[in-house]
Amino acid sequence: MRQIITLAFLLVLNAAFGQHFNEKQLKTEIAEVTVFLNGAQIFETGTTILPSGKTILQMKNLSPFLDEKSIRVKAEGDFTILSVNHKLNYLNELKKDTKIDSLKKAIELIELSVSKENARLEVLHEKLSLLNANKNLGGQHAGASIIHLKQAIDFYESEISKIKDEEINIKKGIGQKKQEQGRLENQLRELNQQNTLPSSEIEIRINSDFQTNGSFQITYLVSNAGWYPKYDIRVQDIKSPLELTYKAEVHQNTGVDWKDVKLRFSNGTPNQSSVIPELITWNLNYARNTIIEKAIYGLTASLGNVKGRVLADDGSPLPGVNIVVKGSSIGTVTDAGGNYSLTLPNGATQLIFSFVGMITEEVLINKPEINVRMQEDISQLSEVVVVGYGVQGRAPGVQVSRANNIAQNITTTVIENQTTVEIEVQTPYSIKSNGDKLLVDLKKLNIDAIYEYYAIPKLDKNAFLVARVIHWDKYNLLEGEANLYFEDAYVGRSILDAKALQDTLDISLGRDKNIVIGREKNEQFSKSRSIGSNVVETRGFKIMVRNTKSIPIKLTLYDQIPVSVVSDITVNAVEVGNGQFDSKRGRLSWELNVVPQQQRDINFQYEVRYPKREKVLLE
């Protein structure tokens, strides 16, 4: 009886799914893209005429990195959406990059040129053989005269020298052409690897009682795209507002070009888990029964920047590799030679390297130059995944508008959602799927700032200019690299630390060479003496500050006095001038107002008392 019921169920199911569906291609175009820090949401639109009955609308040549769980279809028309399915088509590869044809033509031209050069070498070889075959002067008759002999020797020397010189130049040129051909072939191999990916397809099953028009908006998430916040910070002088240009360094290697699309940049991370963490019970035990997991800290304390090169397993450079500082929004993309350079924030410990078809690498930051060789991920896209879901009833329609004219000035709109902030760029952009970096200006801000100088002459005898921005959170900034320009000159790179919790955002604008600072040991107050069973050592230092600028400055100086961690060692601050002394941290600070062309001197002393039997290390 159970077998009969099962057979009947299968027959009904087969009849339901065996109904005839007309197939029709739905032509769409990408109208908008919301780019996240990692990933992007694609908005495609299209219209078509639907026949009566059941129809399968096919969207083809989509990105193979489409997240099938994110597919959403909104439609307008008198019809019913039965289901939406996704699949990978391995027989229909994505359209090849136009660079491939140009690279092939360039390689063919090099090969043709090398062939001509080799043919010329053969001609020269024959010419040399002919000269060698006819160097028997006078033939079988009387010997040649001395004059004729000299003329013949000069002739042979001249001709053979010409032949050898030309051979050397030709072989040198062939070598250079072969090197160029090798570079082009490596680039072609990389592009071919990227373009042999399958294409995604979306199938929308529809039922309509009669012929009707249908308009569709399809949205989905794709990986291998993203953006990094970048800034240009310009300060004309410390009396003027700070000019901040907010930029997005966008990249995409999704397999599909974005042509004249409206861009939004979001600080959201849709692929990050949204599950609230759970606080596990903290079981306190004796130290001998406790295992402590030590985190890695301080490895990048002395590293301000990191650079390097990323190569494939065969040694060829990898352009378009995404490199991001783990746990931050600071990152970049490798150039055509596989090179990269990054400014590191405080506390950075690891770099994450990711690329299409390669295994993602996490590398510890422990040196200023980090080179990486990435391995192919043979498991990526190895299986066809078909996921579908049904939507019964008519979906509400959504109208999408596109800008038809490119604006002369780029304008943006900031949209604050419940949990994210989006910056909408009004001017359409075209971004090819090749991993290249494209900088998009988001907005320019003139920000009032308080300018102050800071210096720690014990560590660095330079004054650092810092712009302090109050209520900075209203500008919706993200942590990112910043190019610094002061008084119309490029002064270096820094980090805009937008993750700070303070109300005031401090932006380091680099060193100011017009403020001269010195620090020296004062031998007069640096001595050692014995008192009973103890040794008392005294140290004195002098700090000099000179303002060579034409305007007054406000400078905060920092230095330190050691802090004892042993009861037998006592430390006393003998003199700190007009400075502030934090005894718990051992930190000294002075706030100075220095007028133009003036020098200020600061003296401080401290003494250390410890047992004679011990030794301490002081400056």
* Whether pLDDT at 406 is above 60: no
Length of the chain: 619
- Residue-level pLDDT at 90: 73
* Range 94-118 average pLDDT: 76
Q: Tokens 């299209």 sit at which residue?
A: 46
pLDDT for residue 455: 94
Average pLDDT over residues 166-190: 82
Is 221's pLDDT higher than 90?
Answer: yes
* pLDDT top residue among 419 and 83: 83
pLDDT at 122: 83
Confidence (pLDDT) at 289: 64
Contacts for 581 with CB less than 8 Å, ≥ 6 apart? 561, 573, 587, 588
Which one has a higher pLDDT value, 582 or 390?
582
Residue pair 221/473 in contact by the 8 Å Cβ criterion: no
pLDDT recorded at residue 506? 86
Tell me if residue 109 falls in helix, strand or coil: helix
For residue 130, give the H/E element and its range: helix 98-133
Residue with token string 């959602």: 417
Please name the amino acid found at residue 403: A
- Strand order, beta sheet including 80-93: 22-25, 53-62, 198-208, 80-93, 387-389
Give the CA dihedral 421, 426, 427, 428, nearest 10 degrees. 70
Alpha-carbon dihedral angle through residues 44, 45, 47, 52, given to the nearest 10 degrees: 60
Per-residue confidence band for 384, with pLDDT thresholds at 50, 70 and 90: very low
Domain ranges of the chain: 98-134+149-194, 517-611
Lowest model confidence (mean pLDDT) among 143-147, 347-351, 395-399: 395-399
Confidence band of 110 (pLDDT split at 50, 70, 90): confident
Task: Find all residues with CB under 8 Å of 123, minimum gap 6, and list them.
Answer: none
Instruction: Return the structure tokens found at 111.
Output: 């090969």
Phi-psi region of 447 (alpha: psi -120 to 50; beta: other; left: phi over 0): beta
The Cα–Cα gap between 161 and 140 comes to 27
* pLDDT value at 390 more than 70: no
The residue-averaged pLDDT of 132-138 equals: 63
CA angle 380, 37, 386 (to 5 degrees): 35
Which range among 134-143, 229-238, 379-388, 581-590 shows the weakest confidence by mean pLDDT? 379-388
Residues linked to residue 292 through DSSP beta bridges, in sequence order: none
pLDDT given for residue 399 in this prediction: 33
Per-residue pLDDT at 398: 32
For residue 553, the Cα-to-chain-centroid distance in whole angstroms is 37
Categorize the per-residue pLDDT at 219 as very low, low, confident or very high, splitting at 50, 70 and 90: very high
Between 286 and 142, the more confident residue is 286
Strand, helix or coil at 269?
Answer: coil
Per-residue pLDDT, 96? 53
- Token duo for residue 452: 């102050």
Strands of 372-373's sheet, edge to edge? 339-343, 305-311, 372-373
Please state the rounded mean pLDDT for residues 332-344.
Answer: 86
Percent of the residues in the chain that have a pLDDT greater than 90, as a whole number: 36
> Has residue 294 got a pLDDT over 50?
no
For residue 404, the model assigns a pLDDT of: 33
Q: For the chain, give percent helix, strand, coil, nearest 5.
A: 20, 45, 35
Average pLDDT, the chain: 80
CATH number of 517-611: 2.60.40
Which runs of E-coded beta strand occur in 188-311?
Answer: 198-208, 212-222, 225-235, 242-252, 258-266, 305-311
Where does the pLDDT of residue 382 fall: very low under 50, low under 70, confident under 90, or very high at 90 and above? very low
Give the N- to C-terminal CA distance of the chain in Å, as an integer.
95
Rounded CA-CA distance 348/21 in Å is 56
Q: Which two tokens stand for residue 104?
A: 């092939």
Residue type at 147 in one-letter notation: I
pLDDT of residue 566: 87
d(C-alpha 420, C-alpha 72), whole Å: 20
pTM: 0.63
| Three-state secondary structure call for residue 149 | helix
- Can you give the pLDDT at residue 393? 35
Give 231 or 505, the one with higher predicted confidence. 231
Bridge partners, residue 214, by sequence: 48
Region of poorest pLDDT, from 75-84, 417-426, 520-529: 417-426
Among 24-28, 163-167, 280-284, 304-308, name the one with the lowest average pLDDT: 280-284
Rounded mean pLDDT, 396-416: 38
pLDDT of 543 > 80? The answer is yes
Q: Has residue 58 got a pLDDT over 90? A: yes
5-9, 104-108, 222-226, 356-360, range with the lowest pLDDT: 5-9
15-24, 371-380, 403-412: which is most confident: 371-380
**pLDDT above 60 (res 411):** no
Angle at 255 between CA 266 and CA 308, to 5 degrees: 75
Q: Which of 49-53, 103-107, 269-273, 386-390 has the highest mean pLDDT?
A: 49-53
Q: Which residues pair with 416 in a beta bridge?
A: 421
CA 95 to chain centre: 26
Residue 93 pLDDT exceeds 60: no
